[in-house]
Amino acid sequence: NAGVMQNPRHLVRRRGQEARLRCSPMKGHSHVYWYRQLPEEGLKFMVYLQKENIIDESGMPKERFSAEFPKEGPSILRIQQVVRGDSAAYFCASSGWDRSTDTQYFGPGTRLTVL
Amino acid sequence: GQQVMQIPQYQHVQEGEDFTTYCNSSTTLSNIQWYKQRPGGHPVFLIQLVKSGEVKKQKRLTFQFGEAKKNSSLHITATQTTDVGTYFCAGMTSGTYKYIFGTGTRLKVLA
């Protein structure tokens, strides 16, 4: 859905650099999910956040990866010291107040390439 | 952990033929959603099923949720070239806050 904004759309990093991915949810949405998609594969859940809270980060690697959703501003997925295996499409999705039934609207994704 | 499998992984059909993809969860689901992703695009929500045995239709698409709420199917009647893409199911287990996506079925429609 065009309402969820992600930037940048494409990001190229060299091994060891940091990647910072941004996601602005749809207006009025307070739930943000991050997913990773490798080429030719499905979407893997990484983390679920509400404003200023990480609700479930069970799908996110313990090291090098972090996520936040501050009171003001977009949600950020941060990958430190990137490696080639981090190359993937990263999608965020947002939903309304009822997380159990509300539709997730996906952003266009950020395609990360690690050289 | 919870797993959601889809079959088939790939399907090539002639335009006008029917197509079905099946989704199976290792655990009982509270609800299931279906998405379509075009090549190079992002997942687009199609439908959500909540009730046991529920059937919903959208034009040529029919969605079904199994009685045990562990499986679901998507059937497309008389496929068109615009149906090309990968179809994902995504299930949520009660008490969790995340959707586990299926492995996807990639559909190619030959004109």
| Chain A residues touching B34 at Cβ < 8 A | none
Whether B9 and chain A come into contact, CB under 8 Å, resolves to no
Q: Give tens-digit pLDDT for A47-80.
A: 999 988 999 999 999 999 999 999 889 999 999 9
* Res A101: pLDDT: 59
Give phi and psi for A79, each to the nearest 5. Answer: -120, 115
* Res A1: pLDDT: 44
Residue A32: C-alpha distances to residues A99, B7, B41, B56, B92 (Å): 10, 29, 19, 27, 16
C-alpha to C-alpha distance for B75 and B97, rounded to whole angstroms: 28
Residue A37: both structure tokens together: 């998609």
Whether A96 and chain B come into contact, CB under 8 Å, resolves to no
C-alpha to C-alpha distance for B37 and B106, rounded to whole angstroms: 9
Closest CA in chain A for residue B38 = A108
Whether A43 and chain B come into contact, CB under 8 Å, resolves to yes
* Res B34: pLDDT: 96
Q: Please provide the average confidence, as pLDDT, over all residues in chain B.
A: 94
Instruction: Please judge whether B103 and A42 are an interchain contact, meaning their C-beta atoms are less than 8 angstroms apart.
Output: yes
For residue B94, name the pLDDT band (cuts at 50, 70, 90): confident
Task: Report which DSSP code applies to B82.
Answer: G
CB-based contacts of B45, cutoff 8 Å, min separation 6: A1, A103, A104, A105, A106, B33, B34, B35
Whether B103 and chain A come into contact, CB under 8 Å, resolves to yes
Q: Give tens-digit pLDDT for A70-113.
A: 988 999 999 999 999 999 999 999 988 665 557 889 999 999 99
By residue count, chain B amounts to 111
- Match 């199911």 to its residue by tokens: B89
Instruction: Please judge whether B97 and A55 are an interchain contact, meaning their C-beta atoms are less than 8 angstroms apart.
Output: yes
Residues B94-100 have a mean pLDDT of: 81
Instruction: Please judge whether B42 and A106 are an interchain contact, meaning their C-beta atoms are less than 8 angstroms apart.
Output: yes
Q: B50, exposed or middle or buried, with CB in 10 Å at 0-12, 13-18, 19+?
A: middle
**Helices and strands of chain A, counted as H and E runs:** 0, 11
Instruction: Please judge whether B101 and A45 are an interchain contact, meaning their C-beta atoms are less than 8 angstroms apart.
Output: yes
Whether B91 and chain A come into contact, CB under 8 Å, resolves to no
C-alpha to C-alpha distance for A111 and B85, rounded to whole angstroms: 19
For residue B44, name the pLDDT band (cuts at 50, 70, 90): very high
Instruction: Please judge whether B98 and A100 are an interchain contact, meaning their C-beta atoms are less than 8 angstroms apart.
Output: no
